[in-house]
Amino acid sequence: MKIRRSGILLHITSLPSPHGIGDLGPGAFQFADFLGETKQGLWQILPLNPTDSTYSDSPYSAMSVFVGNPLLISPEYMAGEGILSEADIGPPPPFPKGQADYRLVRTYKNRLFHQAYERFGMKADRDKYEQFCSDSSWWLDDFSIFMALKARYPGKSWNKWPPEIRNRQPDTLRMVHKELYSYIEKEKLLQYIFFQQWLSLKEYCHRKSIQIVGDVPIYVAYDSADVWANPEIFKLDEKKAPSFVSGAPPDLCSKTGQLWGNPVYRWDMLKERGYDWWLKRLGHSFKQYDLVRIDHFRGFIAYWEVPAGEKTAINGQWVAVPTEDFFRPLFKKFPSPPLIAEVLGKITPDVIQIMHRDDVPGMRPLLFAFGETLQ
């Protein structure tokens, strides 16, 4: 972190590709070549998590913060691994030029994923796949069954599912796993393929002396496997709907503040659990990326919560986080973690003090880089 470097922010979806959106295929490796040739040392990307058309396919409203987006999987490299043939891929549909049609991409790639699942099932060598599923079971099992249930109940948020599924009754989940086994296994396979391709790209970047800067939003989407599997660490009501949501107070940019709508954390419960969920999340991110930018880092010190149902963020309040208690196990488990703090909005002296004390560098948008942040 002490080395002076420059880099470029370009998300994977913005890379050139014949398959509707940028992916982890040849275009990504060509961009890494470009970064190496131009002496860039950093490649910053947006979250790699799976998106949903309900939320305009924003990577900041993901189905899970632990999971890779299957739409970023490269068909060419699946063919190279023998789980697709060139005939399977065929000519892609006429994707629109100059913009991304995620619905069309999803239809096209889902067909390929079905063929890949069928072909992979006939392969004898499954050792690496089985090891991946075992090592990743702590997030993969919940996500894969969540996605299978989203397919069973299209258009419904998880809190609108039958109560026994919404509340994760063990007998019911075992029955669902049996009924939706093929769908669940396909989701697991896609995660295996995604991470194989991602780690291959990351290793190639390292050979070019390029480090990956990942992005970790402090909040998660409500309609996600993360909240369904861990409702106790979020402020939810008796029907498991959010009782408070995230946002930012009024400032010079917005007289009514910003109403983001994510469920906010129960830091008392996180503390009781030894912050295990956050430690797992950051540990997972440190394996995926070389540097980890925390979007809304100041939320680790205090956050703005708004009662659910409000139309603006005006009637919110600042709520303190047990920062010192949280950072102790974090820095014990990960000495000198490769963190970068987003510095934007109402940055109070205690935020800056913690950044300086723990040697966490900050990142500001260029517009605010050479003056005071918004107050």
Per-10-residue mean pLDDT for the chain, 375 residues long? 85 96 97 97 97 90 96 95 89 89 95 92 73 96 98 95 97 97 96 97 98 97 98 96 96 90 98 97 98 95 96 97 96 94 81 88 73 49
Residue 286 lies in a domain: yes
Residue 134 lies in a domain: yes
Please tell me the predicted confidence (pLDDT) of residue 374: 42
Structure tokens at 153: 């109940």
Structure tokens at 241: 């709907």
Q: Cα dihedral angle (17, 21, 22, 26), rounded to 10 degrees?
A: -30
- pTM reported for the whole predicted model: 0.93
**Structural contact between residues 84 and 119, judged by C-beta atoms closer than 8 angstroms:** yes
Residue 239 lies in a domain: yes
Please tell me the predicted confidence (pLDDT) of residue 375: 39
Structure tokens at 27: 């275009």
Q: Domain range for residue 11?
A: 7-368
User: What are the backbone angles phi and psi of residue 43, rounded to the nearest 5°?
Assistant: -125, 110
Residue 373 lies in a domain: no
Phi-psi region of 312 (alpha: psi -120 to 50; beta: other; left: phi over 0): beta
The Cα–Cα gap between 70 and 80 comes to 17
Structure tokens at 299: 């939320």
Domain count for the chain, please give it.
1
Please tell me the predicted confidence (pLDDT) of residue 307: 98
Structure tokens at 161: 């599912």
Please tell me the predicted confidence (pLDDT) of residue 6: 93
Please tell me the predicted confidence (pLDDT) of residue 35: 98
Residue 59 lies in a domain: yes
Please tell me the predicted confidence (pLDDT) of residue 44: 97
Residue 1 lies in a domain: no
CATH number at residue 181: 3.20.20.80
Residue 374 lies in a domain: no
Residue 222 lies in a domain: yes
